[in-house]
Structure 1
Amino acid sequence: MSKLRLRKAQKGILLALTLFLLSIFFDLIGYADIGKYTLYLTMVVIIYNMFNAAIFVSNSNKKFFKRIKNKQPIFTDSLTDDESDDSIK
Structure 2
Amino acid sequence: MIVLAVCNHKGGSGKTTSTINVAAALGLSGFRTLVVDLDPQGFLTRMVGLPEPPEPASSLALFDPQVRLDQVPVQARKNFDVLPASSTL
Higher share of residues assigned helix: 1
Higher relative CO (CA 8 A, sep ≥ 6), structure 1 or 2? 2
TM-score w.r.t. length of structure 2: 0.32
Higher share of residues assigned strand: 2
TM-score w.r.t. length of structure 1: 0.32
Query: Of the two, which has the highest radius of gyration?
Result: 1
